[in-house]
Amino acid sequence: MVGHAFMGAAHSQAWRVAPRFFDLPARPVMAVLCGRDPDRTRAAAERLGWAESVTDWKSVLDRDDVHVVDICTPGDTHAEIAVAALDAGKHVLCEKPMANSVAEAVAMAEAADRAARRGVRAMVGFSYRRVPALGLARDLVARGRLGRIHHVRAQYLQDWIVDPAAPLSWRLDKEKAGSGALGDIGAHIVDATQFILGDTISEVMGTLVTFVPERPLASAHSGLSGTAATGRTGPVTVDDAALFLARFTGGVLGSFEATRFANGRKNALRIEVNGSAGSLAFDFEDMNVLQFFDGTEDSAVAGFRRIVVTEPAHPYVGAWWPAGHGLGYEHAFTHQAVDFVRAVAEGTDPAPSFADGLQVQRVLAAVEDSAASRTWQQV
């Protein structure tokens, strides 16, 4: 695994826990953790449970005991690592957004194609697909329970930089992060809605805003939470919020909003879908619940049902606890690991593929183009 911050911890927990609850065709071994700083990487490996630590990710590509490379680094490094790993015959699980540009994503998708011909697999880490409630949402749409879909509205609302005194971090630096709210959280709702609908966005019209263009520089080595003030400020080079309207290939009308300035909303990934036969609503702040309106029912008893998605009949849930005993954020990563291991072992293509990741990248790029040109853009 490359990277050991927030995503590194989530992925480590997934590898650790997956075989304890799911029957896997292969047992993951947490072999080696890669990072830049040797001391910090060694400490992280110890804490997270990796057998070994190294500082040069290239060194693991030759090792026969490494079959999978799990990429949890900032987006600017994804393409280089993923292409090299795939070309070295390693299966790759890559965090989202897949890349910082369409060009990088194209290279990655091509590498994945090459690799697939040799039985080597690649997957992008859009973890929210693996939240059981969203899996159920997709099932209901696929089974026609919503009829013809008219609307989808999706919001990903956070507030962690609403304070203008929050310091610059790599996530606010276009070089490292590619974009701001758009790529970090907007990418999730693009993938999640396309996944649920089984359809793709074909056209967008959007706008990007940076509410706070200058922020305090944190001292060196301090991360997201680093608050050691330096007295100096630096420019925010990414968007604080991204809004766009979208049309899907099948005619669905979409409204999207990703922001880090929705005060009081900590991680509110919300999706609503309206169809001719019914509707769905989801909010990650109540992640074990899917709301479903069955429009074919007698109006006297119709209403949005609060389905507590903890039944054995629900996706992934049977492996865990009895009904009513909810799951948490990191369970989606465990499910992702399960699906990835199964696909690799069974020799099937995992989803979302690098081609899917590339398509999301094209949507994000179209939003940026649209914001610049002030017109609709084809994806």
Q: Which residues from 142-171 bind a second copy, rule CB under 8 A?
A: 145-146, 150-151, 153, 155, 157-160, 162-164
From 128, 60, 74, 129, select the one nearest 104 (Cα to Cα). Answer: 74
CA 241/CA 84 separation, integer angstroms? 33
Minimum distance between the CB of residue 199 and a second copy, rounded to whole angstroms?
16
Under rule CB under 8 A, how many of the chain's residues touch a second copy? 96
Which residue, 21 or 110, is less far from a second copy as judged by CB? 21
Which residue, 34 or 317, is less far from a second copy as judged by CB? 317
CA 318/CA 27 separation, integer angstroms? 20
Question: Which tokens in the block code for residue 139?
Answer: 């099932």
Which residue, 80 or 286, is less far from a second copy as judged by CB? 286
Minimum distance between the CB of residue 28 and a second copy, rounded to whole angstroms?
13
Minimum distance between the CB of residue 318 and a second copy, rounded to whole angstroms?
11
Minimum distance between the CB of residue 373 and a second copy, rounded to whole angstroms?
9
Which of 53, 274, 336, 359 touches a second copy by CB under 8 A? 274
Which of 210, 216, 267, 342 touches a second copy by CB under 8 A? 267
Give the interface segment with a second copy, choosing from 11-19, 75-83, 92-100, 348-356 (CB under 8 A): 11-19
CB 175 within 8 A of CB 235: no
Which residue, 91 or 188, is less far from a second copy as judged by CB? 188
From 358, 329, 75, 356, select the one nearest 194 (Cα to Cα). Answer: 356
Query: Residue 172 interacts with a second copy (CB under 8 A)?
Result: no
Sketch the per residue contact string, 71 through 110, with a second copy: x for CB under 8 A, - otherwise: ----------------------------------------
CB 202 within 8 A of CB 248: yes
CB 303 within 8 A of CB 326: no
User: DSSP 3-state assignment of 373?
Assistant: helix
> How many residues in the chain?
379
Give the amino acid at 132: P
Packing angle, helices 187-197 and 132-142, rounded to 10: 40
Minimum distance between the CB of residue 358 and a second copy, rounded to whole angstroms?
26
Minimum distance between the CB of residue 242 and a second copy, rounded to whole angstroms?
10
Minimum distance between the CB of residue 311 and a second copy, rounded to whole angstroms?
5
Question: Which tokens in the block code for residue 367?
Answer: 């939003």
Q: Which residue has the tokens 């509110």?
A: 268
User: DSSP 3-state assignment of 280?
Assistant: strand
Which of 140, 185, 360, 367 touches a second copy by CB under 8 A? 140
Which residue, 234 or 295, is less far from a second copy as judged by CB? 295
Backbone angles phi, psi at 109, to 5 degrees: -65, -35
Give the interface segment with a second copy, choosing from 67-75, 79-87, 115-123, 255-263 (CB under 8 A): 255-263
Of residues 278-307, which lie at the interface with a second copy (CB under 8 A)?
Answer: 278-279, 284-288, 291-295, 298-307
Of residues 308-367, which lie at the interface with a second copy (CB under 8 A)?
Answer: 308, 310-314, 320-331
In sequence order, which residues have a C-beta less than 8 Å from that of residue 79 and are 6 or more positions away? Answer: 99, 100, 104, 105, 107, 108
Angle at 202 between CA 197 and CA 208, to 5 degrees: 100
Give the amino acid at 265: R
